[in-house]
Structures are given as structure tokens and as C-alpha cells.
Amino acid sequence: MQYIHVKMQKFHYTDGTNTFGPFSVEELKGKGITGDTFVWAEGLPNWVAARQIPELASVINEGAQPYYTGTTQVPPQFGGSMPPTFNRPTGRPPKTYLIESILTTIFCCLPLGIPSIIYASRVEGKYYRGDYLGAEADSASAKRWLFINLGLSVGLWILYFLIFGSAMFAAMMGDFN
């Protein structure tokens, strides 16, 4: 087995999907890493199993591997001085509908616009934290509340014009003697 020496570094570890860190050796003690957990530190060209770094011997748990248990395959190898990331989409976050939500809240119906603004404001935060499904769900909820607000407001305006329009029409058709 090849050992890799890293002096006084901050380490990152992965669960196969996300990366966590940087952590000092002391901070890693509470993270539950095992010898099979893949770690990375500045100066390492790729992710390596924690058992290959003697400096981490004091933090390695002998229990079951809590991270990266899906396969025994080594994670993808990357070069560079920044820790590689896993499953980060390169695209843009889902549409937030924030501007539309604010406008319909101002010009249509205030109480129904508030949920739309709340959902819309959470989309990008969830997306950039890695909660892609949560970001898509909040985007869909913001859109749903936006259309509920808009639909109810249009319906109320139509009802308003029908009631007052028919009253005006009845007044014009009435006998003013």
C-alpha cells in the first residue's frame, strides 16, 4: 500500500455525491470517516482513500463505511488545486418567478402573493446548496401561487365589472319619471 504524506493540511472528504471541507485533522475526528472514505488536500492531485494518509490514522473509524458505500469503485480523478466536486450541474438554477411574484403581489392581491414571493426567494439558495429537487419544487410552488394570485385577481375584476356594469345598465334602462 502506498502512503501519501501531507503536512498540516486541511482535508476535504466526499460521500460520492458531495464534498465537505476543508477540515483540520482534529475537526475530522467527529466526521466518522473510515479508511475507505476518499479525502483530498491541497497538493494531492486526486482523491485518495483516507487509509493512505498516515496523518489521518488517528481519525479513522474501524466501523462500517458511512460514506461512498454505493460501489467499491474509485471516484473520478481530477487535477488542480481546488477540491473536485461531484454531480454539480453546470446549468442555471430553475426559474425563480421572483419578479413576477412581486409584481402580481403589488398589482393584484397581496395575501396570495406572499407565498409566491417566499417560494421564489428560496429557489437559488437551495440550488446552490445542492438541493436541486428542492429548488425545482420551490420554483413550481412559486409558479403555482403566482397563477393562483393572477387568476383570482382577474376573476375578481371580471366579477366587479359584471356587477357594476349590470347595475349601470339597469340604471340606464330604467324609467326616470
Q: Give pLDDT tens digits for 118-159.
A: 999 999 988 888 888 899 999 999 999 999 999 998 999 999
> Helix %, strand %, coil % for the chain, to 5?
50, 10, 40
Cα end-to-end span (Å), the chain:
109
Q: Is the pTM of this model over 0.75?
A: no
**Residue numbers of the domain that contains 58:** 1-88
**Cα-trace Rg, the chain:** 29
Indicate if 16 and 68 belong to the same structural domain. yes
Indicate if 48 and 5 belong to the same structural domain. yes
Indicate if 78 and 22 belong to the same structural domain. yes
- Residue 42 has a pLDDT of 80
Contact by Cβ (8 Å): 35, 51: yes
H helix runs in 9-131, sequence order? 25-28, 98-107, 110-129
> How many structural domains comprise the chain?
2
- Residue 68 has a pLDDT of 47
Better-scored residue on pLDDT, 124 or 35 = 124
